[in-house]
Amino acid sequence: MQTPIQLTFRGMPHSNALAAHADRRAAKLQRLFAHIVSCHVVFELVGHGHRHGDRYRISIHVGVPGHELVAGRPSSSGEDADNPYATTDHAFDEAERQLEDWVKRRRAVRHVDAR
């Protein structure tokens, strides 16, 4: 990455463990595409309920040359809804899919242009 990963915590205290988890997942993005310009991860506590516990929203902004990919994942009502690590994993999975698709489209355009 051209700039270090940027982490923002909204409505919740900074967590070194969650930050390290995001760093590991961002490194995996870097392996998919070496020319990532930036990566900004926002961890947000969006609510707390007596019955369902905390609700998290994770958004990831990945800057690639000429584009920005945005993956967001609000926690669902599933079994991992109160787990910020699982919600982060789901958001990074989505970011990986978007990045893979973007790389494929980029290669296809380059291949067509080369003809």
First CA to last CA across the chain, in angstroms? 31
Q: Which long-range contacts (CB under 8 A, 24 or more apart) does 102-105 make?
A: 102/33, 102/64, 102/67, 102/69, 103/32, 103/33
pTM, entire model? 0.85
The number of domains in the chain is 1
Write the pLDDT tens digit of every residue in 70-108: 998 665 555 566 788 999 999 999 999 999 999 999 888
Look at residue 1 and tell me if it is in a domain.
no
Domain that holds residue 49: 6-113
Q: Which tokens is 42 given?
A: 């926002």
CATH number reported for the structural domain that contains residue 30 in this entry: 3.30.160.100
Write the pLDDT tens digit of every residue in 60-80: 999 999 999 999 866 555 556
Look at residue 13 and tell me if it is in a domain.
yes
Q: How many helices and strands, by DSSP H and E, does the chain display?
A: 2, 4
